[in-house]
Structure 1
Amino acid sequence: MRLVIARCSVDYAGRLSAHLPLATRLLMVKGDGSLLVHSDGGSYKPLNWMSPPCTLAESEPDEEQAAGGITQVWTVTHKKTADRLIVKIHEVLHDSAHELGIDPGLQKDGVEAHLQQLLAEQIERLGDGYTLIRREYMTAIGPVDILATDEAGASVAVELKRRGDIDGVEQLTRYLELMNRDPRLAPVRGVFAAQEIKPQARTLAEDRGIRCVVLDYDEMRGVDSGHARLF
């Protein structure tokens, strides 16, 4: 992984257009080829990014750019969509590379991991005609718990939590934003599934077009909880 802290501006050009004015930011170039642009805020959400497969080309500025204080130009091009992320660097404050090795992946707590396994085995709980594609579908910013298709064959990303709160909805929102840039998957709908979903999280999810599903863990693993339920 390469970490560069620089004063830079960033432009995304393609199906979407976005501009980040000149400021000091962290540029993260990962081993999978992705590039993420971070500020010193916003938790772990990047301001913009380009996911693989893509190529990074570093070039010298032209005369006009050099006159404006630009010292380097990074052009990241997506190999399939030709979308481009253009980073214009004015000053590099830090540049380092680190070999992280093979990551063992996220180790979830027992209940959450078991929920994922059970829902993968009982994917029909999401609706008739749903089909499991895979568990732990990897994106440039982390794994989506379950990738499935609905009865029409459309892609569905499922995020699982024991207790669903706003952070979980935000996490799924980031996955969906990234996955919907991939023409092989788009359009991708989201399902937020948990044993319990907080009202604020449900409101936010539904406002963003994300479907909420409450899971009965005991029922899914074939255990009678002993509580009377009204269906």
Structure 2
Amino acid sequence: MLPGMRLVVARCSVDYTGRLSAHLPMAPRLLMLKADGSILVHADGGSYKPLNWMTPPCTLKEDDAVWTVTNTKSGDQLRITIDEVLHDSTHELGVDPGLRKDGVEAHLQELLAADPTALGEGYTLVRREFPTAIGPVDLMCRNADGVSVAIEVKRRGEIDGVEQLTRYLELLNRDPLLAPVQGVFCAQQIKPQARVLAEDRGIRCVTVDYDALRGTVDHTQPTLF
């Protein structure tokens, strides 16, 4: 583990070798070295996505103007050649409290926990915020057949949420006391790309009506849509 978050702004080139090869020519970039050992290479553009990165477990070797980052599992390497350092600082961020859901999302989770049959007939709640080594699953339920089901609840269902649930399922299915664990991606609205990805991974998608869950909509009355 590194002592904290290290931020380096440098004029550098980057070469990645592993399952594929990639090259970033010499230019000013932000190098972000996180306490968990990961390293990310950012440019002033491209939104939040890094140009290149290396995930832990990895080692960093600084040799003059060349940094060599090696993933100790795969052997992939990130070689950063530094021409000029413009800024170099380290910051101790401490323990992060985690993402707090907005009011609607948190209330959706609460309503579904109170009546999980909105997710599927015969569903019963095992626990809210079911703990895992990488964070809590929103809801853990059992279906009518007694099979464990992990539910990720979002206000707006996007690809990131599917990826998050996928990571939970991979971990949960290693537990012989829980496996097999199915997945349900639940949201008020699910983007088409997220739905395609979820269904491709065997994750069932469920859209819910927030007002209906709160009991404020009378579905016995005809509506236009």
TM-score (norm 2): 0.62
2:22 to 14, 18, 24: 18
State the 1:15 CA deviation. Answer: 2.1
Query: Partner letter of residue 51 of structure 1?
Result: T
Aligned-pair identity (%): 57
Task: Tell me the alpha carbon deviations over residues 114-164 of structure 1, each in whole angstroms, 9 at most, x when there is no partner.
Answer: 44577789599489xxx99966874xxxx796699xxxxxxx997643134
State the 1:172 CA deviation. Answer: 4.7
Q: Map of 1:82-101 to 2, 5 A cutoff?
A: 82-101=75-94
State the 1:113 CA deviation. Answer: 2.9
Q: Does 1:4 find its partner at 2:5?
A: no
Aligned to 1:205: 194
Q: Relative to structure 1, is the Cα distance of residues 126 and 59 closer, same or farther in structure 2, using a 3 angstrom cutoff?
A: farther
**Contact 1:135/1:147 (CA < 8 Å) preserved in 2?**
no
Aligned to 2:95: 102
Query: Partner letter of residue 36 of structure 2?
Result: D
Q: Does 1:37 find its partner at 2:30?
A: no
Q: Map of 1:162-201 to 2, 5 A cutoff?
A: 162-164=155-157, 168-169=158-159, 171-172=160-161, 193-197=186-190, 201=191
State the 1:6 CA deviation. Answer: 0.8
Aligned to 2:207: 214
**Contact 2:17/2:77 (CA < 8 Å) preserved in 1?**
yes
Q: Relative to structure 1, is the Cα distance of residues 95 and 173 closer, same or farther in structure 2, using a 3 angstrom cutoff?
A: farther
Aligned to 1:227: 219
- Distance in 2, matches of 1:53 and 1:119, equals 37
Aligned to 2:104: 111
- Distance in 2, matches of 1:229 and 1:18, equals 59
Consecutive unaligned residues of structure 2, counting only runs of 5 or more, are: 141-148, 174-182, 200-204
- Distance in 2, matches of 1:51 and 1:39, equals 18
Equivalent position SS for 1:113: helix
Aligned to 1:161: 154
**Contact 1:161/1:193 (CA < 8 Å) preserved in 2?**
yes
1:50 to 51, 54, 71: 54
Query: Partner letter of residue 194 of structure 2?
Result: A
- Distance in 1, matches of 2:194 and 2:58, equals 31
TM-score (norm 1): 0.61
- Distance in 2, matches of 1:112 and 1:102, equals 24
State the 1:26 CA deviation. Answer: 0.4
- Give aligned pairs, total: 192
Equivalent position SS for 1:111: helix
Q: Specify the structure having the higher radius of gyration (Cα).
A: 2
Task: Tell me the alpha carbon deviations over residues 65-109 of structure 1, each in whole angstroms, 9 at most, x when there is no partner.
Answer: xxxxxxx11111112222212211111111111111111111111
Equivalent position SS for 2:105: helix
**Contact 1:36/1:50 (CA < 8 Å) preserved in 2?**
yes
Query: Pairwise CA RMSD of aligned residues?
Result: 4.4
**Contact 1:134/1:146 (CA < 8 Å) preserved in 2?**
yes
- Distance in 1, matches of 2:21 and 2:96, equals 33
Equivalent position SS for 1:23: strand
- Distance in 1, matches of 2:150 and 2:84, equals 39
Q: Relative to structure 1, is the Cα distance of residues 82 and 25 closer, same or farther in structure 2, using a 3 angstrom cutoff?
A: same
